[in-house]
Amino acid sequence: MQLTLWTYEGPPHVGAMRIATAMTDLHYVLHAPQGDTYADLLFTMIERRKKRPPVTYTTFQARDLGADTSQLFMDAARDAQERFNPAAMIVGASCTGELIQDDPGGLSKTLGLPVPVIPLELPSYSKKENWGASETFYQIVRHLAPLGPEASERTDISCNILGPTALGFRHRDDVTEIKRLLESLGISVNVVAPLDASVHDLLRLRHAEFNVVLYPEIAATAAAWLKRTFRQPFTTIVPIGVGATRDFIREIAEITGRDADTLLEQSESRLPWYSRSIDSTYLTNKRVFLFGDATHVIALARVAEKEMGFKVVGMGTYTRERARDVRDAAESYGVEALITDDYLEVERLVQELQPEMVLGTQMERHMAKRLGIPCAVISAPVHVQDYPARYSPLMGFEGANVLFDTLVHPLTMGLEEHLLQMFRDDFEFNDAAGPSHLSHGGHGPVKGQVDGGEAEPEQAQSFENNSNSIVWLDEAERELKKVPFFVRGKARRNTEKFAAELGLAEISMETLYEAKSHFSR
């Protein structure tokens, strides 16, 4: 039993819904109680989809449990097929449905429905949303792809793009961007799936020469099966950031046996110049913490370090399935990865590390807001404001432009940072007021929204074990307040650490500056 306040992923059947909703003519019959219909609003409200998800819930009730819930399921499946006339169906159970063991797969077989019915086994008590999406996509591909005709001889080079789903973080725009990129390389796109794909499209998957795996969390399993079955190679590099996009192009050159240099000539992004522009000097060594799904965290860590000149001080993921990849990446930045789906653990680490910026999910956004740390959202789970109306991919060269803006926007800019440091007592222009280009009150800790009287974060940051015995003298405490807000916590911690190492009982102004010099970057 696990105590959870917020969860990074939904249950696996929500993953299956993301696949069904992404496709145009697949219907999902879900053996589930009425409350599970909440999942519809994820799509209609958060993603603003124009249609209800193609899901029929059996909505069994307590009084049905003594009677015949399997009949209820069969009626629902038959009615759904008649009403919605889908090209194929998937059937399964939600967490409660799983407990009553009605076997939706077996039951639907007895119905003799006139369309392919694909049974799903999604263990709700051990697996989660992304796994559910991956497994569902794999099952659909495995069932449908072999039914299609073999490829006829074709002259052009073509690929499939695999992984984008409904409710995906920027999937819609990533697909547009990567399609454009591939086409500029002279590669045609055979099928994009599951987003906007029909069942018929899946029959043509085998016609492509290779597969582009946009989101390994969702498409890696299906791509591996397609490789085994149809000998289609697949890409392993996720093109987020300038470097990764260039590597992605190289990988495609290798797969298709073409010259990478010619392909790379086309690459252009504003990020390299914007990052080199002297205005960006202030970004150097900004201490960032990253948390999210494995794909986005690994990619964004690279962007942060290599393309923005930040310093990665911590990173982690809730994607346990890819813990090793994240650990490897973390190691290359000299930090240890946090693998957890416990939001409280992430919060503890952020408090301890005192980063100057957090790149995370909507959970980290709330946590960072409370702690007064600038934050940008770079991974699911996200909320309605992270489905922007404008074109804003994360992938490809345009994606890199978007990322530059996204990562710079929450920060106090260049000279403003210096001015804040120099004249921190100005009544309207001080660090607690936040960056002047952000109108809404800046990023001081959000007081009054903190429930249950938590200590002010800055205080909470003190090393409890050290600060018990170490006293801050008034002069030092006052001087500490002159340190800019976003690094003050770090300065306090470092000074205490420094004093503890020297065995000092008091921290004077002298100690503060000694520590500053000791830890200077």
Partner 1 sequence: MSVASEKLMVSAGQGCVDRPVLKQRGQQEVFCGLTGIMWLHRKIQDAFFLIVGSRTCAHLMQSAAGVMIFAEPRFGTAIMEERDLAGLADMNEELDTVVDRLLERRPEIRLLFLVGSCPSEVIKLDLSRAAQRLSQRHSPQVRILNYSGSGIETTFTQGEDACLASLVPSLPSEPDNAPKSLLVVGALADVVEDQFARLFEQLGITHTRFLPARLADDMPPVGANTHFLLAQPFLTDTARALEARGARYIQSGFPLGAEGTTEWLRAAASCFGVPDAKFEEVVSAPRTRARRAVQQYEERLSAKKLFFFPDSQLEIPLARFLGQELGMQTLEVGTPYLNKRLMAAELSQLPDDVVVSEGQDVDKQLDRCRDAQPDIVVCGLGLANPLEVEGITTKWSIELVFTPIQGFEQAGDLAELFARPLNRRTRLEV
239 versus 381: smaller Cβ distance to partner 1:
381
Both structure tokens of 183 = 């086409």
Distance CA 431, CA 429 (A): 7
- Main-chain phi, psi angles of 300, to 5 degrees: -75, -30
- Under 8 Å between Cβ of 492 and 406: no
Question: Please, what is the minimum distance in Å from the beta carbon of residue 447 to partner 1?
Answer: 11
- Under 8 Å between Cβ of 54 and 194: no
Question: Please, what is the minimum distance in Å from the beta carbon of residue 314 to partner 1?
Answer: 21
The H-or-E segment that residue 13 falls in is helix 12-22
- Under 8 Å between Cβ of 511 and 481: no
What amino acid occupies position 175?
V
Both structure tokens of 383 = 């909320």
Catalytic position from the list 279, 328, 405, 426: 279
229 versus 351: smaller Cβ distance to partner 1:
351
Question: Please, what is the minimum distance in Å from the beta carbon of residue 141 to partner 1?
Answer: 25
Distance CA 173, CA 403 (A): 13
- Contact residues: partner 1, CB under 8 A: 1-7, 9-11, 13-14, 33-42, 44-46, 48-52, 56-62, 65, 71-72, 75-76, 78-79, 83, 94-96, 99-100, 123-126, 128, 362-363, 366, 369-370, 383, 446, 449-454
52 versus 418: smaller Cβ distance to partner 1:
52
Burial of 484 (0-12, 13-18, 19+ CB in 10 A): middle
123 versus 146: smaller Cβ distance to partner 1:
123
Active site residue 474: no
**Residue bearing tokens 């390389």:** 185
345 versus 510: smaller Cβ distance to partner 1:
345
Question: Please, what is the minimum distance in Å from the beta carbon of residue 44 to partner 1?
Answer: 4
Question: Please, what is the minimum distance in Å from the beta carbon of residue 400 to partner 1?
Answer: 29
Distance CA 270, CA 399 (A): 10
Both structure tokens of 140 = 């659909």
Distance CA 417, CA 142 (A): 55
Residues identified as active-site:
279
